[in-house]
Amino acid sequence: MTTPLLRLSGLTKAYPGVVANDDVSFDIGHGEVHALLGENGAGKSTLVKMIYGLVKPDAGHMMLNDTRFAPDKPSTARAAGIAMVFQHFSLFAALTVAENIALGMENPPKMRALAARIKEVSQQYGLPLDPLAQVSDLSAGERQRVEIVRCLLQDPKLLIMDEPTSVLTPQEVEVLFGTLRKLRTNGTSILYISHKLEEIRTLCDEATILRLGKNVGTCVPRETSAREMAELMVGTRLHQPERHTRDMGADALEVVDLSVAATSQFGTALRGVSLRVREGQILGIGGVAGNGQDELLAVLSGETLSPKGSIRFQGNDISRLDPTSRRALGVLAAPEERLGHAAAPDMSLVENACLTAATRQGLAKNGWINWGKTRQFAEDVIARFDVRTPHAQVAARALSGGNLQKFVIGREIMQDPRVLVVNQPTWGVDASAAAAIRQALLDLAAQGAAVIVISQDLDELLEITDDFAALNEGRLSVPVPTAGLTVDQIGLMLGGAHGMEQAHV
Amino acid sequence: MFKVEKRPSPSRFWSWMAPILAVVATMVAGGIMFWMLGKPPLEAIRTIFWDPLFNAQFASYSRPQLLIKAAPLILIAIGLSIGFRAGVWNIGAEGQYVIGSLTGAGVALALYPLEAWWIFPLMVVAGALGGFLWAMIPAILRIKLNTNEILVSLMLVYIALEIQSSMALGLLRNPDGAGFPGSRNLQQYPSAHNAEIWVGSSIHWGVIAAMLAVIAAIFLFARYLLGFQIKLTGSSPRAARFAGVNPNVIVAFCLGTSGALAGMAGMFEVSGPAGQVTIDFATGYGFTAIIVAFLGRLNPLGILAAGLLMALTYIGGELAQFIIGLPAAAISAFQGMLLFFLLAGEMFVNYRFVRIRKVVA
Amino acid sequence: MDWSAINPAFFIASIMVSATPLLLAAIGELVAEKTGVLNLGVEGMMITGAICGFIISVETGSPTLGFICGALGGAVLSLIFALLTQLFMANQVASGLALTLFGLGFSSMIGQGYVGIVPPDVPKLMEGADLSAFQRIALGHDAVLYIGLLIPVIVWYVLKYTRLGLVLRAVGEDHEAAHALGYKVIWIRVGAIFFGGACAGLGGAYLSLVRVPQWTDGMTAGIGWIALALVVFASWRPLFIIIGAYLFGGVTVLQLNLQAAGSTIPVEYLSMSPYVITILVLVLLSVLQKYGLLRAAAPAMLGRLFHASN
């Protein structure tokens, strides 16, 4: 048996209160696409950070081509032939593609030579890129290409990819997989981190599954069923949300030909968006990040005001009302960014309860806040949504992502909304909490509220929504019933084929 | 090895300890500074912090001065702290203080020599209005055009000082003053004089106003929705917008209120302890109040204590100048140093040191 | 009033002298801001540089040593700011204000015995009463003035064409990403702050040794703050700093000349004109940005706190 490219032996890393990695060992062979599979919080990120030299292991060691490998900083790892594409791109929006790539290299050539190399490599692997374009003008898929090209310019032996497809359309995923297969053919090994089982089954040669920081098994994905891998990953059987058939009531919220200019330099303008949700209906809005999701939520919540007559609630124009007045009517929202948008990080959960519930729950009267009542409301949310926190006076930033998300969604649901708009309700949330949030949204609709779910997780949208529309460059497709939609059809919609009728042309 | 880690919640212990430690550290560093100036360090510190309060010879004079010096500092700092909490940086309080003194005194001088009970209240309103309007210049520019309020409010200080000279030499000059610069002395105009309310108490209306401002600020932040919205805006502007807070209202309220309070402070000063509009009326209260606001950790009761402490350093500094010949500017440097230590100590409120344990691999 | 009292060659030459402290302070602040640091302590660093340069130059008789120590004084003071904001993670606005308040007090304290003294003369490239207009404008200055003109050009080149400049800009655009790539965000910023302090200190020393030349308490009189506005005016472009500084210098010299020539405008209104014009320029820029005629080029991380989480 040949020596593997990289051998991990007994890697352990503990943080205060949590063991992120516990005695993890596995091998990555030459020219192998190796999957690292696990839920959020299973320890995947910590593990790759150790390989990339960002985190030092407490115990255990690594062997690269049979020599001891202990990188103390990323540049050491890069020098040894390890390259990494992060989930959140470390790109500088105000700089050009070439400048960004130069920053990631130890000894970059002159700008002109580098630009030529970028063109060459990007064409060789089917990843077209303009070296002189400013990154802020690129789509998420193109930004990822910058990261990949940056890695490829250093001829890596091992390319680490952290959740690479979470920002891509299905078509872009195909392009990416093509590139990765070419790399494998050229002898590059790839460590592919994901929680999407089907992707791993189509792409990877071998998979290591992490659960709660431990290696719970290695398998050959092509020979293992998705179900088996899921059970290894999650440990217990998943709770499937229950869907009851619901009666759709009258129109609750209607948006008519809404156009709003971009509010920030790097924002997206909304163009002619129209939609309608009825009581009891869940409308799903899919799309790749940065296509106007934040802007749509801001317009519906009242953070951004829209032209007169563009938004109606129960027939009345609410387009010029501020968020507080909309909440009083029952139009509530939960934005994607939990820390700093849906919640103030440095404020307690009680104060964060006051943030959106002051009017509708009667927590403030004539401008005076009733803190007793506010604390009670916060505690009710914590109890009903199983938010894990010592008490309600803890600062929001101290909660884990999933717990804070439960609090934020719970805070809106507990206010008995007539219309609820949520953006990425389960992003970064562990599977059981995600299931609980989805169930709560279904229950809310069952009680007669209209729900709009904006999400980049197609599985989530297929699971809980009644109708589906796609957001692309600020334009919304005509909503179609979710039942019977295939992933391919959705991919076309996300790619900008507006409305199914165009797909037939 | 240690590393710095953000605390899950701000430490209550350190939010009390940090200012106290900062004062102690400043005494030590200040002592060293005085020693390097060739002054006896312990005596200097004692003269500044102890003698004004307890020295048998000076205390009877210095102690009442404390409230007189502290009142404008507290009044201005309360206003500034409201803005600082919201992330609205009014650092031009000195200018608003000057304009308030001019409008307040202007009203009195226009009515001279009329005697009526309503003159003084009218001066208070005029002083507050003057400061308010001066502060609304940066407020409106920030709201309408997103112009940086720090630079605008600061430039307006220099402009206000020039207006003050122009007034002291021109419009408000005492016609009976034999051509000397400076206005009539309001201490000699009973209806306009901000005199002691009780004889010997050294409490004038400015002291009362400062106390009322402290109490109002306590309620504003503890119970009032607007106070919550101000804190929210400072802590997380985007979350505030989502909560339905109109940032423009917050900017206008913060700058307007701090301007009005600074203007009022200027009016109480010119009609009381100072007595007249002169070229050098402004002595930096508007800037020192920034230190007071931070030293009090932007908390109303903290500001009350910090204002008294800072007033003590002023009076003690004068005393030290008189007794041991400490340069007057040493006190400004000393106050600046206090702010350094305070800002450094603030870290312990939000961060902690944790030991990195090394496990032998 | 008497316009003929204003000699054009002298006028332009004195604009150059008047602009230099502002130019130096602003280019230093620009570099700091490019890395994402907002240092409001320019006024404090300038005045510290002014007094340090003045004292050393009076005591040693060497203006060169004075300029070096002025720059050092400003730089050392800026290290306090660096310590507070980069290591103790204190608020940058408050720390900068603290620097200014401390600098004003400290300089006045150590400058006590130096009021009214005339510092040693700073040698000029060409001197004499019979210089032609060209000679007076182009060659009739001291070395620091030319260095002041050179620094923005060097900064422009470094920022635009070198790797160091690329890293500096990167840190100012996104410190998290720069950290993830392994760049030492904190140390890069400390370096930029130090450079900014040295430039401000040199500018201060120029004020007390050449421009005035004398020491008086609080003699910077807001020039440090105008330098901050100048960075905004230049939209963080180094070469625009030169243009801006010369414009402001022009305003200052013009109002001083008008005062001397006995203009009918009261002295106070002339004295406040640089500040009024600063506000007007800020407003003009805001209007241009509001209507999209000018792109805000502020570094994205300006004034933001960085704490490496790992």
Tens-place pLDDT, residues C200-245: 999 999 999 999 899 999 899 889 999 998 998 898 999 999 999 9
Convert B203-239 to b/e letters by CB count within 10 Å (16 or more is b): bbbbbebbbebbebbbebbeebbbbbbbbbbbbbbbb
Q: Which segment, A82-86, A376-380, A485-489, C257-261, is predicted with the most confidence on average?
A: A376-380
CB-CB: which of A55, A92, A99 is closest to C310?
A55
Is the pLDDT at A236 greater than 60? The verdict is no
Give pLDDT, residue B77: 97
Q: How far apart are the C-alpha atoms of C69 and C102, rounded to whole Å? A: 18
How many other CB atoms are found less than 10 A from the CB of residue A93?
A: 18
Q: Residue A184 contacts by C-beta under 8 Å, 6 or more apart in sequence?
A: A31, A32, A33, A190
Give pLDDT, residue A320: 94
Q: How far apart are the C-alpha atoms of B70 and C258, rounded to whole Å? A: 42
Which chain B residues in 221-240 lie under 8 Å from chain A, judged by CB atoms?
223-226, 228, 231-232, 235-236, 238-240
CB-CB: which of B6, B151, B166 is closest to C282?
B151
Domain interval for residue C278: 3-120+133-290
Q: Residue A151 contacts by C-beta under 8 Å, 6 or more apart in sequence?
A: A83, A84, A85, A159
Q: Reduce the DSSP state of residue A243 to 3 states and report it.
A: coil
CB-CB: which of A99, A103, A108 is closest to C181?
A103
What single string gives the DSSP state of each residue in C151-214? Answer: HHHHHHHHHHHSHHHHHHHHHHH-HHHHHHTT--HHHHHHHHHHHHHHHHHHHHHHIIIIIS-S
Q: Reduce the DSSP state of residue C269 to 3 states and report it.
A: helix
Distance of residue A218 Cα from the nearest chain B Cα, in angstroms: 25
Give the containing element (helix H, strand E) for A177: helix A170-185
Instruction: Determine how β-strand A82-85 pairs with β-strand A158-162.
Output: parallel
Q: Do A347 and B8 touch (CB under 8 A)?
A: no
Give pLDDT, residue B356: 62
The pair phi, psi for residue A343, each rounded to 5°, is -140, 150
Q: Each residue's pLDDT tens digit in chain B (361 positions)?
A: 677 788 877 788 888 888 899 999 999 999 998 898 888 889 889 988 888 888 888 888 888 889 999 999 999 999 999 999 999 999 999 999 999 999 999 999 999 888 889 999 999 999 999 999 999 999 999 999 989 898 899 999 999 999 999 998 888 888 887 778 888 888 888 888 888 888 777 788 999 999 999 999 999 999 999 999 999 999 999 999 999 999 999 999 999 999 999 999 999 999 988 888 888 888 889 999 998 998 898 999 999 999 999 999 999 988 888 888 888 888 888 888 998 998 898 888 888 887 765 444 3
C245 occurs within a structural domain: yes
Is the pLDDT at A223 greater than 90? The verdict is no
Query: In chain C, how many domains are there?
Result: 1
C301 occurs within a structural domain: no
More confidently predicted of C171 and B2: C171
pLDDT digits (tens, 9 = 90+) for A66-113: 899 999 888 888 889 998 887 777 788 889 999 999 988 877 888 889
Q: Do C173 and A265 touch (CB under 8 A)?
A: no
Kindly state the average pLDDT of the residues A201-214: 87
C192 occurs within a structural domain: yes
Q: Do C296 and A265 touch (CB under 8 A)?
A: yes
Q: Are C24 and C70 in contact (CB under 8 A)?
A: no
Question: A14: which strand partners?
Answer: A19
Q: pLDDT band at A413, cuts 50/70/90? A: very high
C307 occurs within a structural domain: no
Chain B: residue whose CA lies nearest to A328? B244
Give pLDDT, residue A16: 64
Best CA proximity match to A85, nearest among A154, A170, A24: A154
Contacts of A92 in chain C (CB under 8 A): 169-170, 173-174, 177-178
C283 occurs within a structural domain: yes
Q: Reduce the DSSP state of residue A5 to 3 states and report it.
A: coil
Q: Does C310 touch chain A (CB under 8 A)?
A: yes
Q: How far apart are the C-alpha atoms of B304 and B292, rounded to whole Å? A: 9
Q: Do A59 and B359 touch (CB under 8 A)?
A: yes
Q: Are B111 and B279 in contact (CB under 8 A)?
A: no
The pair phi, psi for residue A471, each rounded to 5°, is -105, 125
pLDDT digits (tens, 9 = 90+) for A116-147: 999 998 888 888 888 998 888 887 778 888 98
Longest CA pairwise span in chain A (Å): 78
Contacts of A58 in chain B (CB under 8 A): 357, 359, 361
Which of the residue ranges A224-233, A350-359, C170-179 would you say has the lowest mean pLDDT? A224-233
Q: pLDDT band at A173, cuts 50/70/90? A: confident
Q: Do A91 and C177 touch (CB under 8 A)?
A: yes
Q: Do C106 and B333 touch (CB under 8 A)?
A: yes
Q: Are A272 and A299 in contact (CB under 8 A)?
A: no
Q: Does A59 touch chain B (CB under 8 A)?
A: yes
Give pLDDT, residue A501: 40
B216 occurs within a structural domain: yes
Q: What is the CA radius of gyration of chain A?
A: 24
ipTM over 0.95: no
Chain C: residue whose CA lies nearest to B286? C101
Contacts of C95 in chain B (CB under 8 A): 343
Q: Do A74 and C167 touch (CB under 8 A)?
A: no
Kindly state the average pLDDT of the residues A252-281: 88
Contacts of B231 in chain A (CB under 8 A): 347
Give pLDDT, residue B61: 81
Which CATH number characterizes residue B88's domain? 1.10.3470
Which amino acid belongs to residue A380? D
Distance of residue A496 Cα from the nearest chain B Cα, in angstroms: 30
C216 occurs within a structural domain: yes
How many other CB atoms are found less than 10 A from the CB of residue A16?
A: 7
What is the DSSP-derived secondary structure letter of residue A413? H
Q: Does C262 touch chain A (CB under 8 A)?
A: no
Q: pLDDT band at A495, cuts 50/70/90? A: low
What single string gives the DSSP state of each residue in B313-326? Answer: HHHHHHHHHHHH--
Which of the residue ranges A133-137, A257-261, A484-488, B197-201 would you say has the lowest mean pLDDT? A484-488
Q: Do A59 and B246 touch (CB under 8 A)?
A: no
Contacts of A397 in chain C (CB under 8 A): none
B8 occurs within a structural domain: no
Which CATH number characterizes residue C138's domain? 1.10.3470.10
Q: Residue C247 contacts by C-beta under 8 Å, 6 or more apart in sequence?
A: none
Query: In chain B, how many domains are there?
Result: 1
Which of the residue ranges A128-132, A349-353, B56-60, C66-70 would you say has the lowest mean pLDDT? B56-60
Q: Which structure tokens are listed for B14?
A: 């350190």
Q: How far apart are the C-alpha atoms of A187 and C266, rounded to whole Å? A: 81
Is the pLDDT at A502 greater than 70? The verdict is no
Which amino acid belongs to residue B106? G
List of domains in chain A: 6-234 (3.40.50.300), 251-339+418-504 (3.40.50.300)
Domain interval for residue B217: 64-306
Q: Do C166 and A90 touch (CB under 8 A)?
A: no
Q: Residue B60 contacts by C-beta under 8 Å, 6 or more apart in sequence?
A: none
Kindly state the average pLDDT of the residues C244-257: 89
pLDDT digits (tens, 9 = 90+) for C106-154: 999 899 889 889 898 888 888 877 778 888 888 888 999 999 999 999 9
Give pLDDT, residue B359: 44
Give the containing element (helix H, strand E) for A368: strand A368-369
C127 occurs within a structural domain: no
Neighbours of chain C (3+ CB pairs under 8 A): A, B
Mutate to test the interface with C, among A103, A137, A263, A339 (most CBs of C within 10 A): A103
Give the CB-side neighbour count of residue C58, counting CA atoms within 13 A.
20
More confidently predicted of A154 and B254: B254
Give pLDDT, residue B360: 40
C306 occurs within a structural domain: no
Give pLDDT, residue C262: 76
